[in-house]
Structure 1
Amino acid sequence: MSRRLQGQDWLTAPATRAVMAALTAAGGADCARFVGGCVRNALIGAPIDDIDIATTLTPDAVVVALRAAGLRSVPTGIEHGTVTAISEHQPFEITTLRRDVSTDGRRATVAFTTDWAEDARRRDFRLNALYADANGVILDPTEQGYDDAMAGRIVFVGQPEGRICEDYLRILRFYRFYAWYGRGAPDAAAVAACAALAEGVEQLSAERVSKELLKLLAAPDPRPAVRLMDQASVLERVLRQPVELALFEAMTELSGDAVLRLSALLPDDPAVAEVARALRLSNAQRHRLAEAVAGQATTTLTDSQARAVIYSDGRQAFEDRVMRAWAAGGDPEAAQRLLALAKDWTPPTMPVGGRDLVRLGLKPGPETGRVLKAFEAGWIADDFPDHGHDDRLRALLPPA
């Protein structure tokens, strides 16, 4: 009995129908199927972010078919067989069926094929090797992908050692998919293979590693997967140092923020900047991680002390430091009070400037910066008063 996707709005949406109609008009009813995440997530009731399509058409034929249907195409990865169709402003990634010709653990040389089973054999996990036609009828070439998806099993297609050696990123993908979709005990063969081949992750580009790691850490509860990574020595290879999990375990209970969870895996000292740089994180992420450990923010701060930190270092840095202090055992009520303060308080703008000093008789020059800096320090220490500014400035002016 055939299985079919049910109640999927994306499947019958006009934008989706237009893309599938364009492909089938060029190659026949069996030339295109939905594949991977959209099929898997539809089965298990998880959100669907992207709609990927596999096809027997070559990339050039896909472009021609889309153009004939009045749809725009973008050659996002045409050398690897991928063209992105734009239908009603929505992207659809279309990839020609492939087989691996050669692999080196980081990248593969592929050849196009028209064999659905051959395409399935080069995919990572059985639950990702699921296809569905335009009507939602499911094709399961491994004959176990559907059962894996429904049971929460993350099992490699074929022998895990062989699949990992084709691309060592599959080690991190195993942990990521286990974090998001796994239920129960992990697949023993996969766990053993990831541990045995852990050294391979050191060959991967930092960008691929950090992207996969942040996706993993964004899972509702990544702790079981991270523990597996730690036990297999994968985590210390990724972060390039031994890792203690206690702070991370506590932080996961408090926040779903992937960057904040990552900060809880990193050293509580300036070395965090080196790790962030090695992972090739974005400038914003690197700055955030460095700021999270750069200054002290405990749950014992008074409101005025908290406002001083927020003004000087920014709301994000303050909130991250409070969260780290809370996860490290700080008082929960105090932490929540400080976080509420940070949310509700808007740091004021410095109320005086160089013109005010000129008005009070100080000629522009080096003294201007000194006086303003001293004024700001006192203004912060007194909890940002909104009055008496001229008197404060006069007290700081040099003798006439």
Structure 2
Amino acid sequence: MALTLDAAKWRRRPGIRRLLKALGADQGLTRYVGGAVRDDLLGLPVNDIDLATRIRPEDVVERLEGAGIKAVPTGIEHGTITAVSDGQPVEVTSLRRDVSTDGRRATVAFTDDWQEDAARRDFTINALSADPTSGEIFDYFGGLDDLRARHVRFIGEPLARIAEDHLRILRFFRFHARFGAGEPDAAALDACAARANDLMALSRERIADELLKLLGLPDPALTVAIMLDRAILRPVLPEIAPGAVGALARLITAERQAGIEPDALRRFSALLPSEPLLAEKIAARLKLSNRARKRLACAADRRLGDNPRALAYRVGVECAVDRLLLAGEPARAASVIHWRIPKLPLGGGTLIAKGVPEGPAVARTLRQIEDRWVDEGFPEGEALARIVAETLARPDPR
């Protein structure tokens, strides 16, 4: 693992050079911080760059505007400005220290001490910073050693860090699933288990967002198993049983076998009981979108039928893929994921022209024809004409 960043490579990113100049990076006033530094050291793609600066927020705005860079006060009360340089947004945050916290939000004061700012971050691997000119890494809490060991560890006392922000309980498990190797940090795990009830003080939206981020990782099954074993989710999602992790593991295997991308909502469904009304109720409690609620309810109904395309026609491709993967049928799921649902090439007017009386009889007859059309594989031409003729030849079942 490299111990410095390739500063020249980073400066070639659009808009970065003039942004760093405006914020006095060559005078030591501004550094790269957080996830971008961590990911670069791990050889992972770096998408978003965050900057921390000794400059106060109002002066950041003045410097940016003076350099012709758009300044958006996205979180100025907490010291964060979004700088839009050459069309590229970069978050710039003034160094801070916590004055008070209540487990959900913090009151901050600004500082010019890099270590004081780093100390308010959650994990050692997230507290690294880098000099934009030289690429030198600054590590105040052993983050480089933890990065080498793939060890996710709180900065300082885990219970204190969780008291500052209860969401760190879920973040710990997400970061372990993404970056960790081996067993989770014992002190952190014990603290998360001891304070799991603190999650009840958080908004359900924040809980859902963090949980879905975890489930969307390549293979979170082992981490989720630890969470369920230690009853981390029980206060907010008591419906999830410890045995549900087996369903999650089987789903992840099925996704891979089918060559289908991981999907956090589908994986969440694997953890829930196969009861549509209950699944929808849980989704509503988590403030998920109406679309997500309907999808979870549909996936919770595990009925498949014999024909995957008939299933996809009746419940939609997305739900059909969910059900088939949850049932451990990757080949059938793969067979429909790119299938375009056809439209019955027949309307009520055609039936009326063939002598069906206007009114409810038209809809009933269309449904009969459609059911046979689906069961016979969506035929066209003579085969469809045969279905129509045979249906019309039968008495109306009314």
Asked if Structure 1 and Structure 2 have the same fold, meaning a TM-score greater than 0.5 normalized by the shorter chain, the answer is: yes
Q: Does the 8 Å CA contact 2:274/2:302 hold for their aligned counterparts? A: no
What is the aligned partner in structure 2 of residue 331 from structure 1?
A: none
Q: Does residue 70 of structure 1 match 2:72?
A: no
Task: Pick closer, same or farther for the CA change 1:76–1:14 going to 2, 3 Å.
Answer: same
SS in 2 for 1:264: helix
Question: Which 5+ residue runs of structure 1 have no aligned equivalent?
Answer: 327-334
Asked whether the 8 Å contact 1:156–1:163 carries over to 2, the reply is yes
**SS, match of residue 239 in structure 1:** coil
In 1, the alpha carbon distance for the partners of 2:150 and 2:396 equals 73
Look up the match of 2:283.
276
Report the secondary structure of 1:102's partner residue: strand
Unmatched 5+ stretches in structure 2: 256-261
Matched with 1:329 is none
Q: What do residues 163-209 of structure 1 show as CA deviations (whole Å, max 9, x unaligned)? A: 10011001111111111111222211111111111110111111111
Instruction: Indicate if the aligned counterparts of 1:371 and 1:397 stay in contact, CA closer than 8 A.
Output: no
Runs of 4+, deviation exceeding 6 Å: 396-399
Task: Map 1:54-203 onto structure 2 (within 5 A).
Answer: 54-135=52-133, 136-142=135-141, 144-203=142-201
Tell me which residue corresponds to 1:257: 263
Mapping of 1:164-313 within 5 angstroms? 164-243=162-241, 244=243, 245-255=245-255, 256-270=262-276, 271-297=278-304, 302=306, 305-313=307-315
Residue 9 of structure 2 is matched in structure 1 by: 9
CA distances 1:202-249 after superposition (whole Å, capped 9, x unpaired):
111111111111111122221232122112211223423242221112
Alpha-carbon distance between aligned partners in 2 of 1:344 and 1:46, rounded to the nearest angstrom: 30
C-alpha separation in 2, matches of 1:195 and 1:351: 58
**Equivalence for 2:38:** 40
Select the residue among 318, 321, 339 that pairs with 1:319.
321
Whether contact under 8 Å (1:43, 1:150) holds in the other structure is no
State the Cα distance separating 1:80 from its structure 2 match.
1.4
Aligned to 1:341: 335
Higher mean Cα deviation, 345-354 or 114-123? 345-354
Please say if residues 362 and 397 of structure 1, whose CA atoms lie closer than 8 Å, have aligned partners that are also in contact.
Answer: no
Contact 1:198 1:232 in 2 (8 A): no
- What is the one-letter code of the residue matched to 2:42? I
Deviation of 1:314 after TM superposition, in Å, equals: 1.0
2:219·2:252 contact (CA, 8 Å) conserved in 1?
Answer: yes
Please say if residues 29 and 55 of structure 2, whose CA atoms lie closer than 8 Å, have aligned partners that are also in contact. yes
Contact 2:162 2:169 in 1 (8 A): yes
* Offset from partner CA, 1:41-92 (integer Å, 9 cap, x none): 1111122221111111222211211111111122211221111111222211
Cα–Cα, structure 1 residues 215 and 63, in superposed 2: closer, same or farther, change >3 Å?
A: same
- Provide Cα deviations, 1:345-371, integer angstroms capped at 9, x if missing partner: 433211111221332244543333232
CA RMSD of aligned residues (A): 2.3
CA distance in 1 between partners of 2:253 and 2:314 (Å): 29
Number of corresponding residues: 382
Cα distance, 1:39 vs. partner?
0.5
**Contact 2:14/2:88, CA 8 A, preserved across alignment:** no
Counterpart-to-counterpart distance in 1, 2:390 and 2:106: 68
SS for the counterpart of 1:141 is: coil
- Identity in percent: 45
